[in-house]
């Protein structure tokens, strides 16, 4: 198939840019990697762990039980569970822990506070109820490792005000394993950016923010209604020159996967909103490296063997990136998943992007927002 020379040149430059960007991230990850600083037991700070919970009867107990196993002084931890209008037994479960443990408290949140929605509404109210200078946001469907909180607070002693924790998707099914691969790839990208002082965002399901940084940006009350509260809070804090640290550690936190195509698509659609809020100079390379299946498909109609070569090369870089992280956190996925996951996730992101103009509605915990 004959194409004009300028189209051919533009196409080649785009492919080169995609591969180059991925290679730069990989190189930065290795050359600039910042380890978690050590922190002495006697200087461990007091922390408020804030858990938004809406209809989490299947998950909340496991989350709280893992927090009760932490290698951290209980007299320095405050755990607030925000019951967000649950219609199951979430409140009763949280109330049981509230009665049994002095540092765990149930908070019934208002359906709407300062016009806020979803997690930002819950977190804003929990922050108001909390008493400590360090705030950790944790999803109710997650469990944490023994040293999770020590590792979360450690970077604060070096001046970091936001810490994005390491989260790994657990589950044995192939769909869960594809998500695990993708989360690791995203966290590597965030790590490379944060370690050269150009953080993209922090992952709000497992995130620390100092009260100083939170109040400096006016909290979620000032940020306003948002479905991407982690992204918006991080971007606002970075503008105020607060520092962000991305953790990559073994035994951080584990999250449950999306179990259906529908739920996975809804999650990606919500993430897409956060991507569109990134600065243009960061959004464009991020966009092309996530939806590279589009130029690869175009190449297939021009030169099938070139398209196969492009997919192989990009997938090889993504595989190398995944293995770079997995060696540090002692984690792995089946080889068949590792081979196909890069293409699978690019197809999913591409579909989400193409359908985005017609489906901007966010569905969160059963609510259409």
Question: pLDDT by residue (tens digit) across 36-53?
Answer: 988 888 899 999 999 999
Based on the fold, state whether residues 232 and 302 are members of the same structural domain: no
Residue-level pLDDT at 6: 53
CB 125 within 8 A of CB 111: no
Do residues 155 and 250 share a domain? yes
Burial, 323: exposed, middle or buried (Cβ in 10 Å; 0-12, 13-18, 19+)?
middle
- The dihedral of CA 17, 23, 26, 27: what is its sign? negative
Comparing C-alpha atoms, which of 214, 204, 45 is closest to residue 127?
A: 214
Residue pair 170/254 in contact by the 8 Å Cβ criterion: yes
- How many C-alpha atoms does 132 have within 13 Å on its Cβ side? 20
What does the pLDDT look like over 255-313, one tens digit per residue?
999 888 888 888 887 777 766 666 666 666 666 677 777 777 777 777 777 777 777 88
Model pLDDT, residue 347: 84
Residues 206, 310, single domain; the answer is no
Q: What is the pTM of this model?
A: 0.87
Q: Alpha-carbon distance 291 to 348, whole Å?
A: 9
Q: 317 and 300 share a domain?
A: yes
Which tens digits make up the pLDDT trace of 298-337?
Answer: 777 777 777 777 778 878 888 888 888 888 888 888 878 8
Which residue in 59, 264, 242 sits closest to 163, CA to CA? Answer: 242
User: What's the structural domain count of the chain?
Assistant: 2
Q: Which domain holds residue 223?
A: 41-165+202-257
Label residue 78 by pLDDT band (50, 70, 90): very high
The stretch 82-100 carries a mean pLDDT of 95
Q: List the one residue out of 33, 35, 6, 106 whose CA is nearest residue 250.
A: 35
Using 50, 70 and 90 to split pLDDT, how confident is the model at 8? low
Q: Is residue 281 part of a domain?
A: yes
Cα separation, 97 vs 93, in Å, equals: 7
- For residue 260, give both structure tokens: 């259906």
User: Are 113 and 124 a contacting pair, CB within 8 Å?
Assistant: yes
Same domain, 71 and 134: yes
* 170-227 pLDDT tens trace: 887 888 998 998 888 888 888 988 898 777 788 889 999 999 999 999 999 999 887 7
- Point out the least confidently predicted range of 13-17, 144-148, 210-214: 13-17
Domain identity same for 292 and 216 = no
Which residues neighbour 31 within 8 Å (Cβ) at sequence distance 6 or greater? none
* Residue 73 sits in the same domain as residue 148: yes
> What pLDDT, on the 0 to 100 scale, is given for residue 296?
72
Same domain, residue pair 214 and 354 = no
Same domain, 280 and 221: no
Query: What is the pLDDT at residue 351?
Result: 82
Question: Are 226 and 138 within one domain?
Answer: yes
φ, ψ of residue 308 to 5 degrees: the values are -65, -40
* 300 burial type by CB count under 10 A (0-12 exposed, 13-18 middle, 19+ buried): middle
On whether both 115 and 141 belong to a single domain, the answer is yes
Find the CATH number of the domain harbouring 74. Answer: 3.90.550.10
Is the same domain home to 10 and 140? no
């Amino acid at each position: 198939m004959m194409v004009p020379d300028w189209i051919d040149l533009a196409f080649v430059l785009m492919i080169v840019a995609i591969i180059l960007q991925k290679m730069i991230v990989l190189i930065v990850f290795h050359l600039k990697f910042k380890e978690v600083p050590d922190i002495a037991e006697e200087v461990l700070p007091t922390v408020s762990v804030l858990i938004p919970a809406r209809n989490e009867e299947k998950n909340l107990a496991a989350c709280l039980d893992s927090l009760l196993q932490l290698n951290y002084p209980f007299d320095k931890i405050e755990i607030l569970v925000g019951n967000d209008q649950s219609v199951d037994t979430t409140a009763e479960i949280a109330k049981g822990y509230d009665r049994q443990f002095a540092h765990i408290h149930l908070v019934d949140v208002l359906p709407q506070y300062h016009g806020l929605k979803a997690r930002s509404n819950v977190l804003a109210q929990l922050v108001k109820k909390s008493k400590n200078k360090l705030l950790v946001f944790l999803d109710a469907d997650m469990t944490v490792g023994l040293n999770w909180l020590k590792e979360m607070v450690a970077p604060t002693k070096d001046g970091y005000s936001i810490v994005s924790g390491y989260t790994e998707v657990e589950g044995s099914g192939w769909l869960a394993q594809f998500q695990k691969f993708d989360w690791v790839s995203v966290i590597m990208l965030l790590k490379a950016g944060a370690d050269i002082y150009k953080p993209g965002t922090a992952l709000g399901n497992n995130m620390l923010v100092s009260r100083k940084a939170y109040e400096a940006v006016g909290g979620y009350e000032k940020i306003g209604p948002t479905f991407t509260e982690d992204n918006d809070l991080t971007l606002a804090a970075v503008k105020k020159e607060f520092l962000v640290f991305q953790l990559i550690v073994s035994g951080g936190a584990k999250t449950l996967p999306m179990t259906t195509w529908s739920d996975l698509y809804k999650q990606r659609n919500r993430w897409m909103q956060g991507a569109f809020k990134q600065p243009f100079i960061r959004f464009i390379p991020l966009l092309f490296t996530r939806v590279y299946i589009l130029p690869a498909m175009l190449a297939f109609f021009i030169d099938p063997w070139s398209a196969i070569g492009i997919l192989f090369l990009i997938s090889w870089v993504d595989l190398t990136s995944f293995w770079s992280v997995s060696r540090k956190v002692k984690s792995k996925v089946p080889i068949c998943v590792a081979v196909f996951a890069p293409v699978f996730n690019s197809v999913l992101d591409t579909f989400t992007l193409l359908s985005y103009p017609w489906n901007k509605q966010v569905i969160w915990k059963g609510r259409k927002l």
